[in-house]
Structure 1
Amino acid sequence: MDVIEERCGGADLGKTDVKVCIRVPGTGKRARYEVRTFSTMNDGLLELRDWLVENRIARIGMEATASYWKPLFYLLEAAEGIEP
């Protein structure tokens, strides 16, 4: 049986920005998708974390070139309720 996360997201990390898409329940049986871009500087990553917590995102997948994923991974790992 496949497990489908009701609230999840995906992130594409680059050197200067992170593009994130989240899926949350919408009206009826439809899901609502939202895409935002954040800076990879500390303020941007903290804003991203707050947005994910605000939307109660349970799990997020990440794709990155080189080691750009590390700061976001460690930040989300410490956040309550998010599994990077």
Structure 2
Amino acid sequence: MAHAKPIDVVLPVACGVDVHKRFIVAVLCDATDPLHPVYHKKRFSTFTCSLREFRDWLLSYDCRHVCMESTGQYWRPVFNILELAMEFGLSGKTERKGLEDESFFFRAI
């Protein structure tokens, strides 16, 4: 049996977030060991106190990179809570002036 070749890890810890109106679902991948990545999945409400818990959860894993998928304007409260602590991207249909429906952007710290 051949040994698995580790992938080139660009971001050792990152999180993908699906943003809904009343809740978000986050999957954090810790690939500090590329041969044995660890996944953590958690659901949070979109109330401010829960979004702060989400931010603290990310920081507890030293996660500074987040990619959100959202439609409409549901991403805005999440953005407001994370913007000072994270680098992140947004994908999906958005309601922002001057951008195509299918848009993607990054914000650096």
1:1-84 mapped onto 2 (5 Å cutoff): 4-25=10-31, 29-79=35-85, 82-84=86-88
Q: Which is higher, the Rg of structure 1 or of structure 2?
A: 2
- List 4+ stretches of structure 1 deviating above 6 A: none
Q: TM-score, structure 1 length as denominator?
A: 0.86
- Distance change (3 Å), C-alpha of 1:4 and 1:74: same
Listed as ranges, the gaps of 5+ residues in structure 2 are: 1-7, 89-109
Q: TM-score, structure 2 length as denominator?
A: 0.68
Contact 2:9/2:34 (8 A) holds in 1: no
Aligned-pair identity in percent equals 32
- Structure showing the higher helix proportion among its residues: 1
Q: Which has the higher contact order (CA 8 A, sep 6+)?
A: 1
Q: CA RMSD in A?
A: 1.9
- In structure 1, what residue type is equivalent to 2:66? I
